């Protein structure tokens, strides 16, 4: 039973950056998968074998899974042998977790459950959320014995398996990374692990649900704290007129030092969000984690202030902002600090022409569409026409522009790509 490999039908709820790759990896390994999403455009696109976002190797895998008949799509919750919840968990204005999407998914799944089914929460969540999933299901289906009530004799297996992949490498890391599977009971963890044993080459680590939830938050808070250290160093070295990239290069020659690279802030769905869940769980104790979040959240304001000050040197400046995504070579703009920087500059300098370039973005994000002084252009044109060039994302396409057409221009490289 410990080495059991799942066989049956799986419904994956939420066809986003984690749900779709998870569904595809399972489908390409012979599992019958039904993807569920409330967005009709996403359902229709995937049904045609198309991907709604860019991720290396995903498009071929999706088209193949659909062509083989292993991956189908639905807007309605189907019956299945197992359900994976991969919906968003944003934070509220007070930085507590918004679990409304998880609750809605759990309650919809509840209507289709049969004894012996498995429910896995993959959405990153505060400790205790997996137990809430069991409670939400139990409230809809009082006829089912749920693990939070009866333990090992439950009819339904409920567990948490947090995703831990890097955009741009999702299809590789989905398979090769170790996975943590936490159950509300040990039998819940074992049953859920059978799903990941279908494709996971890394080790599958079994634990309790709350520990699995906390481990994921710790992973991202660890990264956030270390990035905050680098970002704070960049502010200090800037004030001392030192080259942050040279300082970090030298410091990292020490065998036990590995300072990360600073940037214009921290983006993506995980790192800017998840540490707040720890802070909310223990607000009086999470002092370092809170401070790291504040340092990183402030960085876009600092970058914008520096660009605005540089613009004051010109009578009628034009500014090129290179990059809108949260990291290099992906189309993911979730929580992107680059968007915040551009928005702050555009709002502060409404009469200044600001050109924005990003090879992975086809239209300005909603946050920027009301700014009349912004326009999306080709990177080469932006660099040619601008007085001030702000590098916000180190896309490979931008690295190719290094040391070309920069004569007489003010360069503000927030990523060190042109250092």
Please, which residues have CB within 8 angstroms of residue 35's CB and are 6 or more apart in sequence? 11, 12, 15, 19, 20, 23, 43, 46, 71, 72, 73, 74
Instruction: State CA 280 to chain mean position distance.
Output: 20
Structural tokens at position 17: 């950056």
φ, ψ dihedrals at 21, nearest 5°? -60, -40
Q: Please tell me the distance from the alpha carbon of residue 223 to that of residue 361, in angstroms, as a whole number.
A: 26
Q: Please tell me the distance from the alpha carbon of residue 49 to that of residue 21, in angstroms, as a whole number.
A: 13
Q: Residue 419 to residues 249, 380, 406: CA-CA distances in angstroms? A: 11, 19, 13
Structural tokens at position 137: 């299901």
The 8-class DSSP code of residue 111 comes to T
Q: Could you say which of 161, 191, 216, 299 is catalytic?
A: 216
Structural tokens at position 168: 């741009």
For this structure, is 287 an active site residue?
no
First to last CA, the chain: 55
CA Rg value for the chain: 23
Total residues belonging to the chain = 419
For this structure, is 191 an active site residue?
no
Task: Give the pairing of strands 118-121 and 410-413.
Answer: unpaired
Q: Could you say which of 161, 188, 191, 270 is catalytic?
A: 270
CA angle 77, 185, 16 (to 5 degrees): 35
Are the beta carbons of 376 and 356 closer than 8 angstroms? yes
Catalytically active residues, by annotation: 216, 270
């Amino acid at each position: 039973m410990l080495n059991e490999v799942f066989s049956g039908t799986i419904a994956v709820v939420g066809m986003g950056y984690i749900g779709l790759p998870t569904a595809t990896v399972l489908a390409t390994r012979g599992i019958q998968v039904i993807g569920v999403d409330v967005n009709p455009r996403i359902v229709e696109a995937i049904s045609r074998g198309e991907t709604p976002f860019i991720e290396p190797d995903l498009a071929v895998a999706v088209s193949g899974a659909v062509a083989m008949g292993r991956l189908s799509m639905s807007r309605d919750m189907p019956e299945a042998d197992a359900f994976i919840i991969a919906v968003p968990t944003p934070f509220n204005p007070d930085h507590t977790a918004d679990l409304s999407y998880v609750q809605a998914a759990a309650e919809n799944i509840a209507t289709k459950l049969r004894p012996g089914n498995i429910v896995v929460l993959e959405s990153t969540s505060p400790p205790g959320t997996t137990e809430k999933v069991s409670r939400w299901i139990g409230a809809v289906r009082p006829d089912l014995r749920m693990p939070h009530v009866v333990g090992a004799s439950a009819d339904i297996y409920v567990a948490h398996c947090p995703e831990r992949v890097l955009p741009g490498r999702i299809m590789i890391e989905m398979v090769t990374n170790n996975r943590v599977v936490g159950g509300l009971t040990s039998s819940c963890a074992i049953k859920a692990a059978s799903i990941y044993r279908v494709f996971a080459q890394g080790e599958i680590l079994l634990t309790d649900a709350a520990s699995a939830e906390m481990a994921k938050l710790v992973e991202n808070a660890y990264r956030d704290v270390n990035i905050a250290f680098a970002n704070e160093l960049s502010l200090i070295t800037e004030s001392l007129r030192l080259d942050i990239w040279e300082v970090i290069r030298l410091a990292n020659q020490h065998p036990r030092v590995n300072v990360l690279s600073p940037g214009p802030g921290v983006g993506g769905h995980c790192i800017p969000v998840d540490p707040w869940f720890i802070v909310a769980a223990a607000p009086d104790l999470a002092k370092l984690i809170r401070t790291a979040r504040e340092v990183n959240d402030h960085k876009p304001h600092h970058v914008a202030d520096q660009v605005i000050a540089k613009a004051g040197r010109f009578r009628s400046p034009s500014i090129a902002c290179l990059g809108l995504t949260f990291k290099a070579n992906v189309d993911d703009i979730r929580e992107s600090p680059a968007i915040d920087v551009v928005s702050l500059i555009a709002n502060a300098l409404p009469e200044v022409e600001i050109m924005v370039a990003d090879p992975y973005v086809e239209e300005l994000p909603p946050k920027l569409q009301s700014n009349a002084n912004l326009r999306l252009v080709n990177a080469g044109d932006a660099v040619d026409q601008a007085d001030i060039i702000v590098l916000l994302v180190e896309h490979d396409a931008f690295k190719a522009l290094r040391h070309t057409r920069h004569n007489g221009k003010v360069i503000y490289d927030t990523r060190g790509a042109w250092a």
